[in-house]
Homo-oligomer: A and B are copies of this chain.
């Protein structure tokens, strides 16, 4: 019996890593007249569904997926949120 989870993953550059894309957006915004903007950092936002026996197993799997595939652990951090979509007992 498996359960399905909706997951939202946020991959961001480590604070110590320069963010050229963020810097470019920041200077572009200032040129457009938005003076009050600062600290622009750009990352990835990934949504996916995941089936697993339970939430703990889903967390383990998602950790592996993020660590090996979605984020570069040398320069990026990741965090995620998991929301159950279907409960195990909902088998028709």
Which of A's residues lie within 8 Å of B, judged by CB? Answer: 2, 10-12, 22, 25-26, 28-29, 32, 34, 36-52, 61, 65, 68-70
The residue from B29, B34, B37, B46 contacting A42, defined by CB atoms under 8 A apart: B46
Residue of B nearest to A2 (CB): B36
Which residues of B lie under 8 Å from residue A47 when comparing CB positions?
Answer: 12, 39-41, 43
- Total copies of this chain within the assembly: 2
Which B residues are in CB contact (< 8 Å) with A29? 65, 69
Sampled A-B contacts (25; CB under 8 Å) = A11-B45, A26-B48, A28-B69, A29-B69, A34-B61, A36-B50, A36-B51, A36-B61, A37-B49, A37-B50, A37-B65, A38-B48, A38-B49, A38-B51, A39-B47, A39-B49, A40-B46, A40-B47, A41-B47, A42-B44, A43-B45, A43-B46, A44-B44, A44-B45, A45-B45
